[in-house]
Structures are given as structure tokens and as C-alpha cells.
Amino acid sequence: MSADEAPAPPGPSAPAGALESHLRARRSEGRKLLVPYVTGGMSPDWLEVVHAVADAGADAIEVGIPFSDPMMDGPTIQEASVRALALGTTPHALLDALARTEVGVPVAVMTYYNVVFRAGHKRFAASLVDAGVAGAIVPDLPLEESVQWRAEAAAAGIETVLLVAPSTPDDRAAAICAASRGFVYGIGTMGVTGERALLADTAGAAAGRLQSMTDVPVCIGIGVSTPAQAAEVCTLADGVIVGSALVRRLLDGGGPSAAAAFVGELRAGLDGG
């Protein structure tokens, strides 16, 4: 199919897919949304970790496809990616593993555009569907350059989650919100992923700004590291993405039980427990 024949990306009134429908339903129940991040293939028991965090209270799970040059990620997730690649993890192997399991909550993969481009938009979207994946996050693919990918993804039933930075002008942020599906990924602080001792003021500001622009669930990530920080940002946001704080526990030797314990603490913090 040529670019001229490619399907059009979904419009603002397009029906919600599996990821967004699930998150909207949870939100309508009064629940704050928790989306933990796990680097796929970083250890032999990574799928057990995914199941453990789902059982501990995750509303959706972000699974990272390891990449050699993860420009959005800081040292913790970079190290997890290096370990995964050293174990021979490939996009095909990771998706094949996901295809052979039932997680219980929607899964969105996070990857970089080189992986998508090399596979081809249509083929990569189909591989996500075959793996039971509901959404995709491609942080190095700008809005204007994502049109063909979003169209092929939507045609296959995959929702593309787009990111909004604190520095994004309001008109551009509104356009990104209108195009994002699944949820809007609000970046809580400028910089790469990583744990922060204090929640940046920009996290709450980002949540409030994005909530005024869209009814799609707004989740804040990057710099949310503790149950208290998660609860604080969710006074304005619909939910949080927590990655580096969880991955660090796994790198330090914690397995599925340690992951479940930490996600349980995050869940309790969001639930006011």
C-alpha cells in the first residue's frame, strides 16, 4: 500500500479501543490509574513480573521493547535494556512471549521508531495484535511524522499513546491530545526517565493543563517514584506511569514478589490506604 493509499489516522470522535475503554471504565469507577513499566526480557522471569504487577493492582502495563539507543531513558532503564539485549531479547521474541500468556489487563509496548520502521508499519501493528497488545508508545516519533503509523495502527486495532512535555506550547499540546489514543502520556519533568527524590512542580501543572484539553485519560510519567508522589500527582491527573523505581528493584535482585510488593504500595497510596 502506498502512502496515498494508506488508511487515515483516527479522528477525535473515533471510538475508544481496548486500552482506552478499560482505563475509562476504571476511571468512571472513581479509581486512579496505575500503569507500571517493565523492560521486557530483562530477566528470565520478566513475564512472571508482568503477571505479578497485574495482580498487585495495575490498571494497564507498559512493556518496554529493549533498544540499543533509548534516548528517552535514563541509566536505570538503559541498564535493564542492556541486560535484556545481552540475554538475546528481540522484538519478535518479546512479542511471541506475550502472545503465549494472558496478562489480565491491557498491555502497551514502548519502543523506538527504528524498531517500527524496520518491521514496517503494517507488519509491526499486526505483530502487536497477534501478541495481544492493545497500545503502542513511540516517544521519538513526532506528531506530524506519526500520521502513517497511527493510521496503520488504528486500522489494526492498536492505540497510539502520544506524549506531551512541560515545554510543549498549548496549541501543540491540544493537537497531541486530540490525536492520542489509549491515554495521554504527560511528561512530569524535563529530562530522561529516572527516580526523583521530589516530585517536580511541573508534574501537577502538566496534569492540570492536559485535563483541560481532553477527556482521554491523562497519566503522568517520568519522575513519579513513590506512593506519596503518585498520590500527589493524582490529585490532578487520572493516573501515573511508574517505571524506573520498579525497574531498579528488579535490577537489584528483586523478582516478581518484590515487584508486586512495590506496586501494591503504589496502589494503596493511590487508593488512600
Active-site positions? 62, 73
CA-based R_g, the chain, Å = 17
Non-local (6+) Cβ contacts of 71 within 8 A are 112, 139, 140, 192
CA dist., res. 87 & res. 34, Å (int): 29
Q: How many other β-carbons are positioned within 10 Å of the β-carbon of residue 271?
A: 14
Judge whether 131 and 96 are in contact, CB under 8 Å. Answer: yes
Judge whether 204 and 183 are in contact, CB under 8 Å. Answer: no
Judge whether 81 and 38 are in contact, CB under 8 Å. Answer: no
Pairing of strands 61-64, 184-187: unpaired
Q: How many other β-carbons are positioned within 10 Å of the β-carbon of residue 198?
A: 10
